[in-house]
Amino acid sequence: MVEELCKVITDLNRTPMPANVRLDILETLRGPQQTAIATLRKRFLKQPVVLPESSRQMADTTFKLLRQTITAYTTVAIEGIKHKATLIEANPAKLVCLALHRAITTAGLKLLHTFQLYQPVELQAWLEINQLYLLAERQKLQHIDVEDKIYGDGTILHTFMRALLLTCSKPNQLRQADMAAVFRGLRDWAPLCELTVARQADGLFLVDLASDHPPIYSALHHGRSSDSERSLSTRNLVETLEELQQQDLRDGRPGIVFDADTTLPSGILNHLITAYGVMSQRSFSRNKTSNQLLVSLGLGSAHYHLLDGESFNELVTGVADDADEKANVIDSNPFIRAPVDERKDPWALTESRTRIDTEGGVNLDDVNIQDAYFNLIKTDTKALSEEERHPVFAVDILNVSPGGYCLQWTESLPGNINAGDIICLRESEEKPWVIAVIRWVSAQNHGNTLVGVELLSPRAVPYAAKTHRKTGPEGEMMRVLLLPEIKLVGQPDTLITPRAGFKERQKVTLVKDGEEQYIQLNRQLTATAAFAQYDFKTIKHLEEVASDNFSPTDSEFESVWTQI
């Protein structure tokens, strides 16, 4: 069906016919096209960053269909303007307005899927979008409301700003589902922004309608303004997002729910406020290097490697894994009367990238990992050894700064990486593990991917944690990391937790080697779909484990943290 639909639109683009007839055919095909794209999307999203061949073909087919559709609607608009005197059975202005609205809407959808695959935008794609909007401006059609039952009603101006704002949201720092939620939200939020002639405004962003470029920060524009430049002001949008954030905080951080399938997480609200509110600048310069790092993916893997061979049961009980001794400990220790069930521990698996917004645990069917590996874990967790479940990879460094690294992720490395994932890394087997987070992902040509990594802490202490609830059973033992205080930057002790099951003002028992410590979580400092970070206060004295377990080191990471 998809190939046939693509062929029909391609043939339509080659066949001369009146603009109103062409538009009628396109509108008839629009519903089946949306269904086809939704079907194809399931085949290339939630896949490794370097797509398998079958998924790549599905993505290519989708982009081909979208390109042909943009061409078809653009043809309608141009022919409608050129031959408006001969359009007897149609209103020329209405026809051109609808065609331009559809073309820009489709171009925005194509942008979304490009960003979701972390790929660079095609050459001429921005020139196409910019020129379509400029054409609408010159025809004075940009403020006319257009009905769209599939992607939302709105004007050409609002549809164009939706594409601009999606690009300004720093999509390479977001996960695929979060990008889709942002795109959905911008349907409602784009009208809050203003697009005006650049010399008459002072918006945060600027776009040149005569260029093949996305919006840039206005402050980075040098030289005289031209008539084709437009200023994009996001001030009202940021104020609205801040109000939504405050309401979300009062409601207990459920996020912004658009429909049954689309929710914008609380953490992404904060991301958008920053992206649309202030100009971001690099804090440190980058230096090229040809070294390698040892990298392991996921909070579970970081926890495992920091334990240095100790099992999770040993961490909880303080007793070496011996069958007879373990049986006695299990009988007497209330925290492990039932064995620690790693199937209920979302961080026992190498990579758990699903978003969990309830305290009910992980739905393994939603975990985005490679299919074969996923099936093996799902059917028999013990089929892989601990070491096999938490592999370490040698990854090339492209450049380094005091704040992090740019890594080159090749096809030979696992593809299940995502912005917001926790990773651990070190320079060599003799050096300590350092905790970091993947901040952005960018797919390149030839199957390679660039991964931006931000250092979180030069040290971390693995704990087991159990939450206390006012009603119902206590939470399961889960893996967490304590990041010791960094006095130089004024960062207190913080706790890295799974995304689900933990919240502000919650009381938590920390367990290490059978010893229990009691804390209360204070503020959520940051959160992604993979983890949350909290500061906390001690209810019962927290041992000075961080300082006891680490001795001074001459690692280059030490110099990194003195520069931050």
Residue 545 has pLDDT above 70, yes or no: no
CB contact at 8 A, 337 and 301: no
Range picked from 133-137, 198-202, 488-492, 529-533 for highest mean pLDDT: 133-137
What is d(CA 512, CA 506) in angstroms, rounded to the nearest whole number? 19
According to the model, what pLDDT value does residue 546 have?
47
According to the model, what pLDDT value does residue 356 have?
36
327-334: list long-range contacts, CB under 8 Å, 24+ apart.
333/514
Residue 222 — very low, low, confident or very high, per pLDDT cuts 50/70/90?
confident
Average pLDDT of the chain, as a whole number: 84
According to the model, what pLDDT value does residue 413 have?
80
What is d(CA 133, CA 195) in angstroms, rounded to the nearest whole number? 11
According to the model, what pLDDT value does residue 405 have?
93
Residue 198 — very low, low, confident or very high, per pLDDT cuts 50/70/90?
confident
According to the model, what pLDDT value does residue 336 have?
41
Average pLDDT (428-452) is: 89
According to the model, what pLDDT value does residue 134 have?
97
Helices (H), 142-225: 156-168, 176-189
According to the model, what pLDDT value does residue 557 have?
52
**C-alpha angle 405-409-412 in degrees, rounded to nearest 5:** 150
Average pLDDT (127-150) is: 97
CB contact at 8 A, 518 and 536: no
Span of 220-224, 358-362, 372-376, 388-392 with lowest mean pLDDT: 358-362
Q: Is 73 helix (H, G, I), strand (E, B) or coil?
A: helix
What is d(CA 15, CA 259) in angstroms, rounded to the nearest whole number? 40
Of 454, 120, 90, residue with least CA distance to 81: 90
Average pLDDT (317-322) is: 73
Residue 353 — very low, low, confident or very high, per pLDDT cuts 50/70/90?
very low
Residue 357 — very low, low, confident or very high, per pLDDT cuts 50/70/90?
very low
Residue 361 has pLDDT above 80, yes or no: no
Give the list of residues 6+ apart from residue 273 with CB closer than 8 angstroms, or none: 238, 241, 242, 245
Average pLDDT (461-486) is: 87
Quick one: angle between helices 156-168 and 92-116, nearest 10?
10
DSSP class of residue 491 equals: B
Query: b/e for 480-490, b at 16 or more Cβ within 10 A?
Result: bbbbbbbeeee
According to the model, what pLDDT value does residue 321 have?
65
Span of 65-74, 367-376, 533-542, 555-564 with lowest mean pLDDT: 367-376
Residue 252 has pLDDT above 90, yes or no: no
Q: Report pLDDT digits (tens) over 43-57.
A: 999 988 888 889 999
Span of 60-64, 317-321, 380-384 with lowest mean pLDDT: 380-384
What is d(CA 415, CA 421) in angstroms, rounded to the nearest whole number? 13
What is d(CA 52, CA 58) in angstroms, rounded to the nearest whole number? 10
DSSP class of residue 138 equals: H
Tell me which of 499 and 25 has the higher pLDDT: 25
Tokens of 517: 């410590």
According to the model, what pLDDT value does residue 383 have?
66
Residue 366 has pLDDT above 60, yes or no: no
Q: How far is CA 311 from CA 60, 78, 187, 340, 483, in A?
A: 45, 68, 49, 11, 20
Of 559, 561, 291, residue with least CA distance to 427: 291
Average pLDDT (130-144) is: 97
According to the model, what pLDDT value does residue 406 have?
94
Average pLDDT (86-102) is: 91
Residue 318 — very low, low, confident or very high, per pLDDT cuts 50/70/90?
confident
